[in-house]
Amino acid sequence: MARCFVTRELPGPALERLRAAHEVDLWEDSSPPPHEALLAGVAGAEGLLAMLTDSVDDELLAAPRLLAVSNYAVGTDNVDLAAATRRGIPIGNTPDVLTDATADLAVALMLAVARRIPEGERLVREGGWRTWTPTFMLGRDLHGARVGIVGPGRIGRAVARRLQGFGCAVDEAGRGDRGALHRVLAESDFVSLHLPLNAQTRGLIGEDELRRMRPTAFLINTARGPIVDQRALARALADGWIAGAALDVTDPEPLPAGDPLLEAPNLVVVPHVGSATHAAREAMAQRAVDNLLAGLAGEPMPSCVNPEVYGSG
């Protein structure tokens, strides 16, 4: 029986499966454990089940008994993958099971910002809605729009499938295709980001890219906050380079009070809820536990982002 450090309570029954097989030390606070607590938690542990908010760095991976890490997320930008691979530690993630929930949210954000739904809801609650007129609260159509998908992976393709029902024309820009990115930015009514965060995508959408967009276009980000230069985005919204933006992710998370981005007009921000459905989060928990159980048994993880640790045999 191994010892596992789990950095947050998980939805559904998955954690009970882990407890049935191994000793579980659970961080019970809803806030992320400080890095010192992470180091202490893994000091005598063979397994780690971490969240995206936990920094799994080389110092953490040097824990003397650590054999396997399961990350409760699709992305692994919080993990030093090179260090893990060098140390022979497999890293698991949770792809596929949150694809549909995140794709649903991306489309919801398109509708929310284009049809000014948060603004209208506030008007009603605050008593600002006095009367109806033909020009009141005019928004823009998603139906028939041209939508650019930047990063057509699992989630990007799922968004494209949903947009077929809106009669949208969908264009794609793959990773590293700068020409396609510029075309998509210049020609799209909505630009939706679905890229992993890495050295190539950090700051990918900056001032130059935002200026390439139409003044009637909307930027949607359900990927990772640092992909967008938020200072440039705040200026783009304030100066009218683009019509609006809707973000599920920011840098940092949460945004501190007084952050300039929060003062920008025509902005919708939600608190990283792309996978926040009961079904998706419970499925993520099951996959994360499956990964950790396999890793501790010396078997290949069902979802491993550094399978080279298993060697050619």
End-to-end alpha-carbon separation of the chain, Å?
26
Instruction: Using alpha carbons, select from 285, 287, 246 the residue that is nearest to residue 105.
Output: 246
For the question of residue 272 being annotated catalytic, the response is yes
Structure token pair of residue 26: 């659970």
CA distances in angstroms from 261 to 7, 106, 222, 266, 274, listed in the order given: 30, 20, 16, 11, 20
| 234: helix, strand or coil | helix
Q: Of these residues, 194, 224, 281, 287, which one is catalytic?
A: 224
Q: Of these residues, 194, 212, 272, 287, which one is catalytic?
A: 272
| 60: helix, strand or coil | helix
List of residues 6+ apart from 199 with CB closer than 8 A: none
Q: Of these residues, 253, 263, 299, 308, which one is catalytic?
A: 253
For the question of residue 209 being annotated catalytic, the response is no
The H or E element that residue 130 is part of is: none
For the question of residue 172 being annotated catalytic, the response is no
The answer to whether 213 and 173 have CB atoms below 8 angstroms apart is no
Instruction: List residues with catalytic annotation.
Output: 224, 253, 272
